[in-house]
Amino acid sequence: MSVNQPLCVSMIVIGDEILNGRTTDLNGTWLSKFLFKKGLQLKSLRFIRDDSEEINAALSASMLESDIVITSGGIGPTLDDKTKNTLASYFGKKIVENNDVAKIVTENYIRFGRTWTKESNHYHFFPEDFLATANPKGLAPGITYYSPETNKLIMAGPGVPREFTEIVEVEFFALIKKYFQSRLLENYQTVIRTTGVPEEKIFFELCPTLWSDLEVFGKVSSLPHTIGIDIVVSYNGDEKFHLETQKKIKDLITSTPLSTQVWQYGNTPINELVLKKALEKKCTFGFAESCTGGLTSSKITDLSGSSAVFHGGVISYDNSVKENVLKVKNETLKKVGAVSVEVAEEMAVGLRELLKCDYAVSITGIAGPTGGTPEKPKGTVAIGFAGPKSSGAKLFHFPGDRIRLKDRFSDMALLIMLELIE
Amino acid sequence: MSVNQPLCVSMIVIGDEILNGRTTDLNGTWLSKFLFKKGLQLKSLRFIRDDSEEINAALSASMLESDIVITSGGIGPTLDDKTKNTLASYFGKKIVENNDVAKIVTENYIRFGRTWTKESNHYHFFPEDFLATANPKGLAPGITYYSPETNKLIMAGPGVPREFTEIVEVEFFALIKKYFQSRLLENYQTVIRTTGVPEEKIFFELCPTLWSDLEVFGKVSSLPHTIGIDIVVSYNGDEKFHLETQKKIKDLITSTPLSTQVWQYGNTPINELVLKKALEKKCTFGFAESCTGGLTSSKITDLSGSSAVFHGGVISYDNSVKENVLKVKNETLKKVGAVSVEVAEEMAVGLRELLKCDYAVSITGIAGPTGGTPEKPKGTVAIGFAGPKSSGAKLFHFPGDRIRLKDRFSDMALLIMLELIE
């Protein structure tokens, strides 16, 4: 384990659109994951408006607390793009015409099959001593400055997420390596992912000493996830140290009553686990979805390579589709209602026959806000399964609003698909 | 129009999980939308770690710039929850046992059918002069403090999104009204939503004076959206002023070549427009999805009330499902390939017959990263449609990675469904 101070990054997201609720942030979320993997610490993440004074204040605070400052937004050609001018005046640099920058901009345009001239915009006017970078997925150049006096690096990228992520991975990270190579450290986590027990029950009833037992290994956090509680232990070190620590933590948990509730020691999203397992076992699968309305299948098809094993699905939102397409019996629907283990099982069996796939999982539940009854309140879901050897269904209850419940129901369906394939 | 200073809010999101990339922020995104609607200005949004020093620094900066500070996270019962202690010491208040707080906590537990005692945790130890609030969807009480000297209000809520949103809407907003009623202003936007023209073409070729023409009405921003550019004009005023301004902006755009590219003057998400129109016209619909893998149907079923008109769909990821379930002809697939207007049209026609609904839209495209060819590169999508009178299909090209493309393709399918129903 290294005793170095971790390399700290502050991020500033510039633009009114996120603070006004028009857009959902993607860059901050992405950068947090990226930096974590690279062993850098994201010290803070500030969302501010397109306003020179606010950019200045955020810069001052960020420069104080971190080695590296990354901004996104405000580097385009329109009048609300203030980042370049503000950075120049913050570091006391004049903006001058720069032919090296003109070359980079010309190349950015060529990559898009377009032509740039000095009349197109002012991209080639650039702060003195600043370095422009290519923008692999966009037109505006990245704006960077390394201050040798303070040993700090500032890099301004575009706001569009596909441009931002690429410029950081390719251009900005190369600069971080150049200036801070000796301080790059690896950061690891062991994640204990549970289902079926509330947070308080874990730490106050099942395993009252678990928190302090885990703190021996690193920083502990407890995070509610869609289908249960994730307990995360974070530490710095090398790969060997990580594998040893992971094993020790696993051994510790195995000796507690929590172990039967753990579905993963790791951090792989459930959709990736399902796809990996299906590819490994070379089996095909699909989903019959009612209340989740396609979300479960959408999570699988977010993953490249899913077409090799994912056959497809049926969204049987209306009962007529359950009957006519999935061949759920009308009498079952009448007798026990659409949200029932019986209908869930018939949906899964029907889908498996229709799609001619190895495994089928079905979801039928009440996502609300309406449709709940005292016997089957909002949050009730029946998940059915069918494979070559057996079929069946289970009933679950989850808390949350409609969007949250769709998310929880579909993750639980994925977990059942994982167990089914295994 | 009022000349009042808008009421400013700073938000601090406390917790390692977002900065470490383990969780995606939902509270900041939600609060930005909520405050905008209520006419408050979200001045900044800071993500920091569970660390007393960092909470202190963020508090100082927030108290300087805003009237109201809202935090989320770190108010639970475990050892990494530091918000209460840090707030107390920031304002120089002692933490003491408080029976009023104990009552509120007791009631929070009763709402969940559970019992709280003073041995359960330390929720009833509370900073002097602070006010606890109920937590309608959770157990830990909200922590609030109004400073009469500075006329500032600080409110700390839970990190779990369903708890946070409810406590802000119900409890925190009541306190904002109590202390700042006279300064609550309405904020309005007129949004010009376009498709099919790049940002630079709009402002540099089609309508070179548009930006300054719009600035007469308020603050202008230009935001890339999934299927085109949104131009947003924001201003303060009353309902009457807003309707007048909206009409003037619409008249201005109608006189420009941009007008044929506008699909909405407003801010309603495309899924809501489709559902509203289908409910109005009392017609049923469904989607046949290949590359979007269920995302289009999932966007419709995110909306309560969709079950009245949304019949369902088929995810025909594998070509066998296109043939066997949607009755796409094998010869069509062989002759022109799955990503083609011909297959898209057959998918839509086949789904409409299978589901017995009024309108069907289909999506078949290449979301990548693999599967593209020189003739049909990644980002190509064919969208088919079928109604009682006609059927057809169109070809589109979009930029972006797999996730982004699924989002763009499905929004374009929704737009085509909207036009179809109209």
- Inspect the interface and report whether the beta carbons of A200 and B77 lie closer than 8 Å: yes
Among candidates B78, B161, B221 on the partner chain, residue whose Cβ is nearest the Cβ of A17: B221
Instruction: For A120-178, give the DSSP string.
Output: T-STTEEETT-EEE--TTSSSPEEEEEETTTTEEEEEE-SSHHHHHHHIIIIIHHHHHH
The partner residues of B314 in beta bridges, in order of sequence, read: A314, B288
The tokens of A349 are what?
A: 């069996």
pLDDT for res B3: 40
B46 part of contact set with chain A, CB < 8 Å: yes
B230 part of contact set with chain A, CB < 8 Å: yes
Among candidates A78, A203, A293 on the partner chain, residue whose Cβ is nearest the Cβ of B203: A78
Beta strand pairing status for A391-397 and A380-386?
Answer: antiparallel
Among candidates A20, A232, A403 on the partner chain, residue whose Cβ is nearest the Cβ of B22: A232
Task: Please compute Rg for chain B using Cα positions.
Answer: 26
Q: Contact B41/B236 with Cβ under 8 angstroms?
A: no
pLDDT for res A37: 76
Q: Contact A158/A72 with Cβ under 8 angstroms?
A: yes
The three-state secondary structure class of B408 is helix
Q: Which CATH number fits domain B8-181: 3.40.50.150, 3.40.980.10, 3.40.920.10, 3.90.1150.10?
A: 3.40.980.10
Residue type, A89: S
- Per DSSP, B115 falls in state -
A163 part of contact set with chain B, CB < 8 Å: no
B115 part of contact set with chain A, CB < 8 Å: no
pLDDT for res A2: 36
What is the fold, at CATH topology level, of the domain defined by A8-183? Answer: Molybdenum Cofactor Biosythetic Enzyme; Chain A (3.40.980)
Which chain A residues in 321-380 lie under 8 Å from chain B, judged by CB atoms? Answer: 321, 324-325, 354-356, 367-371
Query: In Å, how far is B294's CA from the nearest CA of chain A?
Result: 4
pTM above 0.80, yes or no: no
What is the mean pLDDT for each group of 10 consecutive residues in chain B (422 residues)? 69 90 87 86 92 92 95 86 93 95 95 90 94 95 95 96 95 95 81 93 94 94 90 87 95 96 93 98 98 98 97 97 98 97 98 98 96 94 97 95 95 97 93
Closest CA to A81 of A167, A158, A138, A172: A158
Size of the A and B interface in Cβ pairs below 8 Å: 295
Closest CA to B262 of B191, B190, B189, B193: B193
Among candidates B16, B311, B325 on the partner chain, residue whose Cβ is nearest the Cβ of A221: B16
pLDDT for res B2: 37
- Inspect the interface and report whether the beta carbons of B28 and A47 lie closer than 8 Å: yes
Closest CA to B219 of B207, B231, B229: B231
pLDDT for res A1: 34
Domain boundaries, chain B: 8-181, 187-265, 270-421
Q: Which residues of A touch B28 (CB under 8 A)?
A: 25, 47
pLDDT tens digits, one per residue of B289-301: 999 999 999 999 9
Among candidates A15, A230, A294 on the partner chain, residue whose Cβ is nearest the Cβ of B298: A294
- Inspect the interface and report whether the beta carbons of A304 and B23 lie closer than 8 Å: no
B294 backbone φψ class: left, alpha, beta (φ>0; ψ -120 to 50)? left
Instruction: List, for chain A, all residue ranges whose pLDDT scores fall below the cut of 50.
Output: 1-3
- Inspect the interface and report whether the beta carbons of B221 and A289 lie closer than 8 Å: no
- Inspect the interface and report whether the beta carbons of B20 and A306 lie closer than 8 Å: no
Among candidates B58, B295, B312 on the partner chain, residue whose Cβ is nearest the Cβ of A298: B295
ipTM of the predicted structure? 0.74
A294 part of contact set with chain B, CB < 8 Å: yes
pLDDT for res A224: 85
Query: In Å, how far is B50's CA from the nearest CA of chain A?
Result: 10
pLDDT for res B1: 35
User: Is the domain covering B270-421 a CATH 3.40.50.300 domain?
Assistant: no
C-alpha pair distances (Å), B256 with each of B204, B208, B409: 13, 10, 28
Indicate which of B8, B9, B13, B22 best probes the interface with A, i.e. most A CBs within 10 Å of its own CB.
B22
Query: In Å, how far is B293's CA from the nearest CA of chain A?
Result: 5
CATH architecture of B187-265: 2-Layer Sandwich (3.30)
pLDDT tens digits, one per residue of A211-235: 999 999 998 988 889 999 999 998 8
Name residues whose C-beta falls within 8 Å of residue A325's C-beta, 6 or more positions apart in sequence: A314, A316, A350, A354, B312, B314, B325, B354, B355
Among candidates A78, A79, A402 on the partner chain, residue whose Cβ is nearest the Cβ of B304: A402
Residue of B nearest to A354 (CA): B325
pLDDT for res B56: 93
Query: In Å, how far is A417's CA from the nearest CA of chain B?
Result: 17
Among candidates A44, A162, A286 on the partner chain, residue whose Cβ is nearest the Cβ of B401: A162
B56 part of contact set with chain A, CB < 8 Å: no
Q: Which residues of A touch B311 (CB under 8 A)?
A: 317-318, 320-321
